[in-house]
Amino acid sequence: MRSRGLIPLLAACGAAMLGACAHIPQSQEVRVSDTPDALAEAAAANASPNPAADPQPRWAAAARPTPPVAERRPHRVTVHGETLDDPYHWLRDQSYPTIDDADVLAYLEAENAYFEAVMAPRETLVETLFAEMRGRIKEDDSTVPQKDGDWVYWSAFDTGAQYRKHYRRPAGAAGAEARATLILDENQLAEGKEYFRLGAATVSRNGRYLAYSYDDDGSERFTIRIKDLETGELLPDAIPGTLTGPVWVANDTALVYGLATPEWRVDNARLHRLGTPVDADIELYKEADEGFRVDSDLSAQEDWLIISTGDNETSEVRLVRADDPTGPQVLVRPRQKGVEYSVDVREGTVFVLTNDEHVNFRLATAPLAQPGAWQTLIPGSDSFYLTEVSLFRDFFVTEGRRQGLDQIEVRSYSDPAAATPIAFPEASFVAGLSSNPEYATDRLRLSYQSMVTPGSVFDYHVADGRLELLKRQEIPSGYDPALYATERVDITARDGTRVPVSIVYRRDRDALNGGPGGPLHLYAYGSYGIAVPPGFSTSRLSLLDRGMAFAIAHVRGGDDLGRNWYLAGKLAQRTNTFTDFVDAARGLIAAGYTTPGRISASGGSAGGTVMGAVINSDPDLWGAVVAHVPFVDVLNTMLDGTLPLTPGEWPEWGDPITDRAAFETLRAYSPYDNVRAQDYPPLLITAGLNDPRVTYWEPAKWAARLRATKTDDNILLLKTNMGAGHGGKSGRFTALRETAEEYAFILWQLGLAP
């Protein structure tokens, strides 16, 4: 139920089960790429030496920026008796995941060159925004140290560094910094690489070995390495192609991990014994259902290995002794379609979080001898959505949401119904357990923020219910929360449903805009039951300080208001997500927060589906739209079971191969298939060449069809990160500059900057 990694997991999906993470938003901030290339160089690379001799030039490139025009090549398929016309199918490299088709690469490079040429006059604005954003970052920042056993761990940035360094010192030692030992330097690992991402890092229980995983091309295939912290040397063991974080077992002599299949799925849990060849690793579990994903973790007392498998709606869990990982496995309960459950183990009792009796989940227990005999400990509730359970020696913690607001409650094993809620001062906030690696503890490490309060770290002292502030995010250039206000309003959707919207703005916004109804940015995600928290962003201040408001539409499809909120935005009800977003925009206009055409909008991945749908249905509402790595070729992707995520995504989107009704539903809203001859708002679209979640050709095909079909002359930009994946560029400053580029695009299109 909770990860007990000794160093906090740094990749949301790189070391976690992928079912709910398939198109997870990487950030609430709009993002694109940097590293400008000269248009002349790209034009020279793509243009014919003698244009007159080339009867069909593929794209135009001249001193004055001219958008590329992709060829239309006939491609038709028939499904359920219906013919689908896909003239840009050729943009999918047929040798994928190898991408070496010269025409495909040339088109993407031409689009990148056009992006650079169009954005070149905005370079001063980009640099201004970047300087503002960087000025709000404490460059030598560090995390609050956290004790785990005999050691205390933390990480820190050096001034000017792109990546973190990870340290530890003996617990209880005087002069903490003097005895600090550097155990991992991400900057060293990233040296000379265009992309680097640390996936997970965990120290063995005896404190000697550090196992970590990394991705150096954005493909999200991680390599595990092991470092001897006593000698500082790397062990020869190297495990490439993994997709789950390493788990220490067998008294720190072995690791459990999941290997990615060629289709970028995890259908296995494997055991690697230190010092043995990788090809001799033992397969502990193999999943037969191609839609299920496998993950492994340890129980609260770290005495049981938990092997979980499941898709977006069904789960199954096995237990095996952590000191004997090849021993007999205990099946907790056989899978039952639509029943999700996760487990932890404490002192011979299995704790089960499940939706089998109530949509908002209940907590049950069972003896290890009969792990499937679940008895309710905390019943499901219509008013409280139970999302997490964390077990400690003397108490346990439940997390969830009530009326969309985060709740953390401490409970005793002797009287679990008597919850002690942890109270916070603001009416709207984001709060949850942070890293709490020790089973025997008398305090809890918490994270907290709101749309006006920077990220904060607390210790909650369980005995007296006291919150101790350990750190609040420092903003070197200055920040006065009194200048800003946040609201949560309910807007009535067209079917009568009340949709919450979180808003933040400067209190003097009307003065900045010369009156009410100023520009506003609207964001949403709306899939996989993933709520969008109303959190803090230093980059966002660059919009707020120019008179913009920033709003998050908590649309159906997320689980912001409980599990039913999620169910009301998936499968056949998916269009609720899109109409909620449009109705939120119209409601904000009616309430005087903004006016038509002065709304910019953004969404990433599955949130990009929202962007594609709403510009098809209501193009006049938006003054600018940013779609990050957008999942827009929905029908074609769901029709292709060979793609990495498709089989596991059918419970979320529908299976159009076997289900005619699902086919018709997807065909009716799939953004790529519903581009029509009409005016569209200015668009910035991003892609990652190595993205395994939303493959690069989805945004590329969408951009090509939009260019060929739309009737306006508004800007349409496609920027493909040629050396990155789903999350864009790596490195904190490189990524920050991408945000500056995107904000510059928004401000330019809304008339707030030249």
Catalytic, out of 219, 296, 726, 730: 726
Q: What's the half-sphere exposure (Cβ side, CA atoms, 13 Å) at 735?
A: 21
Q: Judging by beta carbons within 10 Å of its beta carbon (0-12, 13-18, 19+), is residue 338 exposed, middle or buried? A: exposed
Reading the block at residue 745, the tokens are 């695009």
Q: Which residues contact 40 (CB under 8 A, 6 or more apart)?
A: none
Catalytic, out of 435, 559, 691, 730: 691
Q: Which residues contact 722 (CB under 8 A, 6 or more apart)?
A: 108, 109, 112, 689
Q: Judging by beta carbons within 10 Å of its beta carbon (0-12, 13-18, 19+), is residue 626 exposed, middle or buried? A: buried
150 phi/psi in degrees, rounded to 5: -85, 0
- Which residues are registered as beta bridge partners of 213? 200, 224
Q: In a 3-state reduction of DSSP, which class is residue 191?
A: coil
- Distance (Å, whole) CA 527 – CA 570: 7
- Distance (Å, whole) CA 722 – CA 105: 9
Q: In a 3-state reduction of DSSP, which class is residue 228?
A: strand
Reading the block at residue 27, the tokens are 């950030």
Instruction: Identify whether 691 is a catalytic site residue.
Output: yes
- Distance (Å, whole) CA 426 – CA 373: 41
Instruction: Identify whether 100 is a catalytic site residue.
Output: no
Q: Judging by beta carbons within 10 Å of its beta carbon (0-12, 13-18, 19+), is residue 253 exposed, middle or buried? A: middle
317 phi/psi in degrees, rounded to 5: -130, 140
Instruction: Identify whether 605 is a catalytic site residue.
Output: yes
One-letter amino acid at 178 equals: A
CB 343 within 8 A of CB 307: no
Range list of β-strands (E), 209-356: 209-215, 222-228, 234-242, 247-249, 254-257, 268-273, 282-286, 293-298, 304-310, 315-321, 330-331, 341-346, 349-354
Could you give the C-alpha distances from 551 to 65, 159, 369, 381, 405, in angstroms and in order? 33, 33, 50, 29, 16
Show the DSSP H helices in 67-177 as ranges: 102-119, 123-135
- Distance (Å, whole) CA 293 – CA 305: 17
- Distance (Å, whole) CA 542 – CA 744: 10
Residues 471-498 as b or e (16 or more Cβ within 10 Å = b): eebebeeebeeeebebbbbebebeeebe
Catalytic, out of 155, 605, 670, 730: 605
Q: Which positions are catalytic? A: 605, 691, 726
